[in-house]
């Protein structure tokens, strides 16, 4: 069965924010899908660069906008 993963669910997994079922499905897909492995590796690289650089903290206004936007979105399905 072919699964389609959004970048959002991959980022969620990258930050260990997936539940146990989501994590198992994603890990299985990563073992079997080279293009998904490449996309996940790119996301990990970006995360590592941000972590290395210390990344500037977003303003409270930016955080609030992100939270408001996320409340409007449908949850990802796996």
Specify if 77 maps to a domain: no
pLDDT greater at residue 68 or residue 78: 68
Dump pLDDT digits (tens) for 7-50.
Answer: 889 999 999 999 999 999 999 999 999 999 999 999 999 888 88
pTM exceeds 0.75, yes or no: no
Domain count, the chain: 1
Domain that holds residue 11: 7-71
Specify if 78 maps to a domain: no
The full length of the chain comes to 78
Specify if 2 maps to a domain: no
Give yes or no for a contact between 18 and 77, defined as CB atoms under 8 angstroms apart.
no
Residue 37 and residue 15: Cα distance in Å, rounded? Answer: 16
pLDDT of residue 50: 80
Specify if 48 maps to a domain: yes
**DSSP for residue 30:** H
Specify if 31 maps to a domain: yes
């Amino acid at each position: 069965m072919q699964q389609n993963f959004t970048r959002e669910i991959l980022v969620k997994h990258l930050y260990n924010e997936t539940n146990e079922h989501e994590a198992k499905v994603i890990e299985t897909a990563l073992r079997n899908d080279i293009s998904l492995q490449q996309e996940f590796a790119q996301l990990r690289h970006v995360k590592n660069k941000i972590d290395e650089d210390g990344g500037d903290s977003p303003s409270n206004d930016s955080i609030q906008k992100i939270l408001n936007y996320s409340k409007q979105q449908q949850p990802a399905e796996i």
